[in-house]
């Protein structure tokens, strides 16, 4: 069986935290590839302010040149609310030879009990969880059937989020090196997240 990681998120915009999370999971669990999958409408969050097409383009810019990282537009193509269970059913139908690992930060691990169809989802994927500043992981608080489906990976804590990038961009503060250079250039060129005049 091939082992593939899925890194799902709004990516509004993608930042170095996402890339470090994906690389830590790839390295520590011997994943052949990680597929970066922007959500269409996130189940538990505000809708992204930027179109799916632009979020996907920034993802493609960020992972360009790394043959182990690929963009995946399956949720943007499907539309609607991006429930992971629907996506995994589709992906497993398309790739019966692949074992999928869904990669998530601690904030999302703590939310797993509220995920759509979690009782079935735990039989379709393993989760790889990483610590994240501000939401420390406490696996003991999770129901046993979820805890059994979570593997832990380690990486240096990185206190960077997409909301931090958007806030800083809107105030004209530097976000250089918080995102890959190509994403930085994309944001400046397209004017997204910038202060809107008037
Ligand atoms: N700095 C980080 N450390 C660990 N995990 C992270 C980090 N940033 C994002 N993640 C994880 O990446 C996934 C996708 O995150 P998402 O695209 O929603 O970015 P975000 O930075 O959390 O966005 P926002 O600030 O808009 O809520 C989630 O599983 C999230 O937990
Ligand atoms: O399926 C669900 O119920 C569900 C609930 C919360 C989050 N997710 C997925 O988890 C990934 C990270 O979510 P977010 O909100 O941090 O962007 C993204 O791919 C979401 O679609 C999925």
The structure's pTM equals 0.97
59-89 pLDDT tens trace: 999 999 999 999 999 999 999 999 999 999 9
Q: Compute the distance from residue 198 Cα to the ligand 2 centre, in Å.
A: 35
Q: Compute the distance from residue 99 Cα to the ligand 1 centre, in Å.
A: 23
* pLDDT above 70 as % of the chain: 98
Go through 122-137 and write b for each residue having 16 or more CB atoms within 10 A of its CB, e for each that does not: bebbbbbbbbbeeeeb
Using an 8 Å Cβ cutoff, are 150 and 141 in contact?
no
Q: Compute the distance from residue 11 Cα to the ligand 1 centre, in Å.
A: 8
* Average pLDDT value for the chain: 94
Domain ranges of the chain: 2-158
Q: What is the ipTM of this complex?
A: 0.98
Q: Is 191 in the pocket of ligand 2 (CB under 6 A)?
A: no
In the predicted model, what is the mean pLDDT of residues 83-106? 97
The pLDDT, as a whole number, for residue 190 is: 95
Using an 8 Å Cβ cutoff, are 8 and 45 in contact?
no
CATH number, span 2-158: 3.40.50.620
Ligand of minimum distance to the alpha carbon of 35: 2
Per-residue pLDDT at 9 exceeds 80 = yes
Of 72, 93, 75, 94, which is closest to residue 84 (Cα–Cα)? 75
Q: How confident is the model at residue 198 (pLDDT cuts 50, 70, 90)?
A: very low
In the predicted model, what is the mean pLDDT of residues 28-44? 97
Work out whether the CA dihedral 193, 174, 167, 80 comes out positive or negative: positive
Per-residue pLDDT at 195 exceeds 80 = no
For the chain, give the number of residues.
198
- Atom 11 of ligand 1: nearest residue by CA position: 105
């Amino acid at each position: 069986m091939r082992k593939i990681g899925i890194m799902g998120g709004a990516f509004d915009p993608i930042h170095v935290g996402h890339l470090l999370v994906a690389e830590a999971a790839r390295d520590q669990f011997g994943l052949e590839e990680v597929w970066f999958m922007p959500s269409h409408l996130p189940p538990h969050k505000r809708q992204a302010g930027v179109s799916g097409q632009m979020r996907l383009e920034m993802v493609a810019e960020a992972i360009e040149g790394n043959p182990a990282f690929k963009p995946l537009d399956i949720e943007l193509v499907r539309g609607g609310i991006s429930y992971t269970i629907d996506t995994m059913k589709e992906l497993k139908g398309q790739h019966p030879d692949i074992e999928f690992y869904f990669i998530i930060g601690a904030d999302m691990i703590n939310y797993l009990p509220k995920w759509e169809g979690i009782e079935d989802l735990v039989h379709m994927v393993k989760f790889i969880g990483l610590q994240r500043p501000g939401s420390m992981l406490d696996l003991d608080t999770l129901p046993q059937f979820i805890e059994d489906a979570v593997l832990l990976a380690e990486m240096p804590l990185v206190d960077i989020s997409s909301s931090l990038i958007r806030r800083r961009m809107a105030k004209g503060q530097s976000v250089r090196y918080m995102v890959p250079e190509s994403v930085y250039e994309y944001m400046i060129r397209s004017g997204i997240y910038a202060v809107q005049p008037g």
